Chain A
Amino acid sequence: MSDLDGRQRAIARVCLGEAPPADALALLGGDPRRWQVYRDLVRTRLWRALLEALPRTYAAAGGERFGGWFTRFLDEAPPRTRFVREVAPAFGAWVRAAEGEALSRPAPWLPEALALDLAEHHVALSDARLDPSELAAFSMDLPAALDPAHRRVRVRWAVEGEAVVERPRTLLLHRHPTLGSVETLELSALGADLLDAMDDGATPVTAAIGGVLSRRGLSADGAFAEAFAGLLTDLMEREVLLGSFAPI
């Protein structure tokens, strides 16, 4: 290890360790308070990025637990991405792996708070897009083309006033077509199943909805047709449904 390597590793240990190691501070020399400045700068920037991206997770976990995760994350698995925006997904994956089933112990809605935060973060920042040359006008006889930046999240819990109540549903998160803000649409159970079936990029819409209705023992009656047309129109206006995949 070169002298330069040694000094850089010492600074990293001071900044990322659970506490600044005495041997690293001794190697670096100078006033330890100035190395604490670097430790504070590194940790504050990353902490702010996590709070901004994961507000529901922080609220559900509580500051002490969230702070404990943060300390362990930096010590055990510090970010390996150069992009600050990718730190929250890395932290979320680490929390899930580290906590496993125990993640729901502090609050049963904590795992879905994390899932919802990460989905919102993805939708806000994603540059995933379809190639326009692959698209055609919407047709029931072709596979549906859905915006790859959107996310659907199944949740059991809902915040109602001051209380958290059990109310299973699916939330569709997408970017507002003009404002760019993340919008949320609540889907019925049937609507969620239909979108799941339509979103494989290969099955024609007619076949996709036929499969869902068959599994649910429903028929494509007039009421269904009207409701389904309303869902498609809404999704097109929101630019979640972009058309169909053109036949190859």
Chain B
Amino acid sequence: MARVEGVGLGLRAPLVGDLMTRAPPSLRWVEVSPENHMGRGGFFERMLADARGRFPVVTHGLSLGLGDRAPPDPAFLRALRAFLESVGTPWHSDHLCFGAVDGAHLHDLLPLPFTRESVRAVADRVRLLEDALGLPIAVENISWYAHPGDAQMSEADFLGEVLSRSDARLLLDVNNAFVNARNHGTDARDFLRRIPADRVVQIHVAGHFTGADGFRIDTHGEPVCAEVYELLELALSRTGRVPVLLERDGGFPPFDELAAEVERLDAILRRAAP
């Protein structure tokens, strides 16, 4: 298993040509979503093979449904485990959300209520998934745009309870913390101060879309904003030097602009205490 440290970038088809030929020196690893590659031949198969030949790979899932109610599909878990072992990821992350209801997959990150029932459901599922996959699971805090029904606790407490009961790791998404704070009138710095820093194994940063009404949507389609860079410094001051990933899924700029974002993240990361 390769050592993962420094700054990484999400492996996306529009980026792969530049990634393989002129990646900035500070780019140390790539993040791969298994659902984009499992059982898929052709271009995506070759893209992954090329990337694995050059960079350590960390996996980031899209569909484990940590908050789903139906039992996980054993066939999918077996295939996922084989994929994770094949790329040598040190952990597998997915989102603190649900994505499927009664067999229907909605293909988005849907919000869980911050309730004790949700905590129990997610924690039980995370433990089950860790056993099935044979790897640590890292749970990512999501951007949420509405809360379903009444909450029994804050988001930070909800996240802390899930991690405590499941013993999972945390993939801290700083952009999501910022988006949520702006959308719901809370303080992202307070959120970052309250999360269990010792559980953080990886950090995500990304850009987001701001609508005319000021409401923000986590798109990964814009540059990282100044406030998120500042929040990253705060997060790293608590976690120490953990791997940081730049997510870019759309609105791809010239590669030099992405490379500059990677370099900036690397400079911030180097200033953090080990």
Interface of A toward B, CB cutoff 8 Å:
2-5, 7-12, 15-16, 27-31, 34-35, 37-38, 41-42, 45-46, 78-85, 87, 124-129, 149, 175, 180-181
Contact = CB atoms under 8 A, between A and B. Distances in A.
A34 B40 contact: no
Nearest to B213: A33
B145 A38 contact: yes
Given A27-B149, A83-B35, A181-B43, 10 more contacts: A4-B67, A4-B113, A7-B148, A8-B69, A12-B101, A12-B104, A34-B146, A82-B63, A128-B41, A149-B41
Contact of A15 (B40, B106, B147, B149): B106
A14 to B, nearest CB: 10
Contact of B105 (A31, A79, A125): A79
B102 A12 contact: yes
A124 B46 CA distance: 12
A85 to B, nearest CB: 7
A127 B104 CA distance: 25
Contacts of A41: 108, 217
Interface stretch (B114-122, B197-205, B226-234): B114-122
B100 interface: yes
A82 B115 contact: no
B22 interface: no
B76 A38 contact: no
A159 B99 CA distance: 41
Nearest to B109: A41
A85 B147 CA distance: 29
Nearest to B120: A4
Contacts of A12: 101-102, 104, 106
A4 B115 contact: yes
Interface string B34-58: 0100111111111000000000000
A234 B113 CA distance: 59
B51 to A, nearest CB: 15
A248 to B, nearest CB: 26
Interface of B: 35, 38-46, 62-63, 67, 69, 76, 98-108, 110-113, 115, 117-118, 121, 145-150, 215, 217
B41 A38 contact: no
B69 A180 contact: no
A3 B115 contact: yes
Contacts of B41: 125-129, 149, 175
A10 B110 CA distance: 11
Contacts of A80: 103-105
Contact of B35 (A5, A16, A82): A82
B218 to A, nearest CB: 10
A28 B148 CA distance: 5
A2 B149 contact: no
B42 A126 contact: yes
A5 B42 contact: no
24 contacts: A4-B112, A7-B113, A8-B69, A12-B102, A15-B106, A16-B104, A28-B148, A28-B149, A29-B148, A30-B146, A41-B108, A41-B217, A80-B104, A82-B105, A84-B35, A125-B42, A125-B44, A126-B42, A127-B39, A127-B45, A128-B41, A129-B41, A149-B41, A180-B46
A82 B100 contact: yes
A35 B145 CA distance: 8
B78 to A, nearest CB: 14
Contacts of A11: 101, 110-111, 148
B70 to A, nearest CB: 10
A149 B45 CA distance: 14
Given A12-B101, A30-B146, A38 B39 contact: no
B101 A9 contact: yes
A79 B107 contact: yes
A46 B108 CA distance: 10
B110 A38 contact: yes
Nearest to A83: B35
Contacts of A4: 67, 69, 112-113, 115, 117-118, 121
Contacts of B112: 4
Contact of B42 (A29, A38, A175): A175
Contacts of B121: 4
A149 B41 CA distance: 9
Contact of B149 (A16, A29, A45, A85): A29
B108 A45 contact: yes
4 tightest A-B CB contacts, nearest first:
A34-B146, A127-B41, A82-B63, A12-B101
Contacts of B62: 82
